[in-house]
Copies of this chain bind each other. A is one copy, B any other.
Amino acid sequence: MRSIARTWTLVALVVVASGVSAIAAQNDPLEAWNDGAAKRAIIAFVRSTTTQGPSFVPPDERIATFDQDGTLWVEQPVYTQLVFCLDRVPVVVKAKPELAQQEPFKTVLSGNREAIAKLSTHDLETIAVATLSGVTTDEYALAVRGWLDSARDPRWKRPYTELTYLPMTELLNYLRANGYKTYIVTGGGQDFVRVYSQRVYGIPPEQVVGTAAGITFGYDKSGKPVLTKDPKLLLNDNDAGKVQGIHLMIGRQPFAAFGNSTGDRQMLEYTKAGRGARLAMLVLHDDSVREYAYGPARGLPDTKVGTFPQELADQAQRAGWVVISMKGDWKRVFAFEK
Contact = CB atoms under 8 A, between A and B. Distances in A.
A251 B2 contact: no
A83 interface: no
Contact of A214 (B214, B225, B244, B269): B244
Given A15-B2, A224-B273, A270-B225, A251 B217 contact: no
Interface in A235-282: 235, 240, 243-244, 247-252, 266, 269-270, 273
Contact of A206 (B212, B217, B251): B251
A108 interface: no
A262 to B, nearest CB: 14
A312 to B, nearest CB: 16
Contacts of A205: 250-252
A227 interface: yes
In this complex, the interface size class of chain A, counting residues with CB under 8 Å from chain B, is 35 or more
User: Would you call the interface of chain A mostly helix, strand, loop, or mixed?
Assistant: helix
A152 to B, nearest CB: 27
A137 interface: yes
Contacts of A249: 206, 248-249
A11 interface: yes
Nearest 7 Cβ contacts at the A-B interface:
A8-B8, A205-B251, A217-B240, A9-B12, A5-B12, A225-B270, A206-B250
Interface of A: 2, 4-6, 8-9, 11-13, 15-16, 60, 63, 137, 181, 190-191, 194, 198, 204-206, 208, 212, 214-215, 217, 224-225, 227, 234-235, 240, 243-244, 247-252, 266, 269-270, 273
